[in-house]
Amino acid sequence: MDNAERWLSKTLDYNFSDVGLLQQALTHRSASGRSNERLEFLGDAVLDIVISEALFHSLPDAPEGDLSRLRASLVRDTSLAGIAAELGLGEHLILGSGERKTGGHRRQSILADALEALFGAVYLDSDFETAADLIHRVFRDKLEVLPRADELRDPKTRLQEWLQARGAALPEYELVNVSGKAHQQRFEVHCLVPDQEPAKGEGRSRRSAEQQSARRMLEQLTAGESRG
């Protein structure tokens, strides 16, 4: 734990009174000893309230739906894993031999869970204010440059709203091809809107293919509108 303690002190300016909490926060369920699952549960709740409050105060005119989408974008696994990787958290994870061999220290879900577990551990080791301060420092850059809320809506929703605003028919999605083996399938979907060329989308799931086709259709429609 000495290396982990030095890393935490240098990177996040925090020193545990109970080093056992730090060890538990870094311990994946694949390893022996108490895993970080319970701390992750607690840290997830602490993170939600801290980010919710930060957004509430920084965006006083934003409606609830926009705040919810912004919060979800900040605390989703991809965001948390990216932060954890930047901090170097993966180097200090305690993993079982199987996870170590397969690169578990780089796995998105493991990094995200460990970061939330660390927040939970800091909360238990100190208090809510200290944990909140640490979370604010970790998320400072992301909170200072927030995306527009409308950018966070998925392409299918944005396309539907664009068409509805113009009194146009809603899009239809046609599955045109499925290829590959069962565990490596690729889906091809066409998004269909009257008087428009079909927009093609591909992905590893039908949903992702539909989202891609919707995004391309929206680009097609907005480009046509700007030319008009």
Residue type, 14: Y
**Which spans in 27-154 are helix H?**
37-58, 64-75, 77-87, 97-101, 108-125, 128-138, 140-144
Question: Given this model, what pLDDT does residue 66 score?
Answer: 86
The CATH number corresponding to 2-147 among 1.10.1520.10, 3.40.50.10210, 1.10.10.350, 1.10.10.10 equals 1.10.1520.10
Pairing of β 186-192 and β 199-203 = antiparallel
Nearest-angstrom CA–CA distance, 76 and 48: 11
Question: Given this model, what pLDDT does residue 120 score?
Answer: 98
Question: Given this model, what pLDDT does residue 181 score?
Answer: 83
Question: Given this model, what pLDDT does residue 153 score?
Answer: 77
Residue type, 54: A
Nearest-angstrom CA–CA distance, 159 and 170: 9
In this structure, are residues 216 and 156 in contact, taking their beta carbons and an 8 Å threshold? no
pTM for this structure? Answer: 0.71
Domain positions in the chain are 2-147, 155-227
- Please name which of 102, 115, 100 lies closest in space to residue 26, comparing C-alpha atoms: 115
Nearest-angstrom CA–CA distance, 94 and 92: 7
Residues that are catalytic: 44, 116
Question: Given this model, what pLDDT does residue 141 score?
Answer: 92
In this structure, are residues 24 and 125 in contact, taking their beta carbons and an 8 Å threshold? no
Place of tokens 């551990």: 121
Question: Given this model, what pLDDT does residue 60 score?
Answer: 92
| Per-residue tens of pLDDT for the chain, all 228 residues | 789 999 999 999 999 999 999 999 999 999 988 999 999 999 999 999 999 999 999 999 988 988 998 999 899 999 999 999 999 999 999 999 999 889 989 999 999 999 999 999 999 999 999 999 999 999 999 999 887 776 777 889 889 989 999 999 999 999 999 998 877 899 999 999 999 999 999 998 999 999 999 999 999 998 877 665
Question: Given this model, what pLDDT does residue 223 score?
Answer: 85
How far is residue 42 from each of residues 31, 76, 148, 160, measured CA to CA in Å?
A: 20, 16, 29, 37
Give the H or E element holding residue 177.
strand 172-179
Rg (CA), the chain: 22
Question: Given this model, what pLDDT does residue 150 score?
Answer: 67
The CATH number corresponding to 155-227 among 3.50.30.30, 3.40.50.10860, 3.30.160.20, 3.80.10.10 equals 3.30.160.20
In this structure, are residues 161 and 214 in contact, taking their beta carbons and an 8 Å threshold? no
Question: Given this model, what pLDDT does residue 227 score?
Answer: 64
- Please name which of 66, 75, 76, 72 lies closest in space to residue 149, comparing C-alpha atoms: 66
Angle (CA) 31-33-35 rounded to 5° is 70
